[in-house]
A and B are shown apart, each in its own frame.
Chain A
């Protein structure tokens, strides 16, 4: 697992208070992990802070799963 994937999963697990093995890449924040719409906004804010970047609103809307977040951030950080 890449360093970015690990950091993303750590944030998701911490923020949503779920068990670590639930945060697999296919898991949808809302449908599978019990997040509400505010949680998704907060997750994006937490990613921005962790990776010291700005995630524009239109990009944030496409981040629905753990995998979406990882691939977006991997692209952005590369």
Chain B
């Protein structure tokens, strides 16, 4: 499959289970990927697995100066970025009345503020070449709400508004901006749930199973390819029917 032959990708959060599945899928589709993350060992392992046509960049997305450096480095190295995937995300769950200010700010900082900064940098570059695909990973809970996750849910819902507004701003420049909203995916994001919570979730999924990281990666492949050229400002829900929106 060579849907992304010759395309370059900047992917944040590359070493998580979602990120690495996206990297593998896009790499097999012919894309050249700038992998980013904070764990150098995992980054290097992924780079070794995918091959040296890709590149790996350690970047702390909570620091704007590191985001600027990442943007400049990747644009210089690849000459062009065709697809930006804002995948990095963290969660620090607690009920609002017990939530620590730091946990609020950290989640908003990584999940939303870094998307603002990185997307701003990269969209400037995409303006000039009159094309580009910007994909942000939201979440089903950004639509449904979820107790104990006011910070995470706020950030994921915000990405949808961000995406719609930016999509309108850049639509005439050949840049597509979309979201993917995963449902319950078999990844580290749900590892912390206990069995009862998992059962409860499964009972709310019509397909009665968790999604795989590859399900999300396939949606990225579609939104990153020319197959989706007339789609912008949208969210693709990949959730086994858990929420039909």
B: number of interface residues (CB 8 Å): 7
Q: 8 Å CB contacts to A: which residues of B114-133? A: 124, 127-128
A-B contact count (CB 8 A): 11
The stretch among B141-149, B168-176, B231-239 that forms the contact with chain A is B168-176
How far, in angstroms, from A45 to B120 measured CA to CA in the complex?
A: 13
Chain A contact residues: helix, strand, loop or mixed: helix
Closest to B171 in A: A38
How far, in angstroms, from A36 to B169 measured CA to CA in the complex?
A: 10
Distance to closest chain B CB from A47 (angstroms): 14
A36 touches B172 (CB 8 A): yes
Closest to B173 in A: A38
How far, in angstroms, from A38 to B174 measured CA to CA in the complex?
A: 13
A: number of interface residues (CB 8 Å): 4
B170 touches A38 (CB 8 A): yes
Closest to A37 in B: B169
Distance to closest chain B CB from A33 (angstroms): 16
Distance to closest chain A CB from B33 (angstroms): 27
Chain B residues with CB under 8 Å of chain A are 124, 127-128, 169-170, 172-173
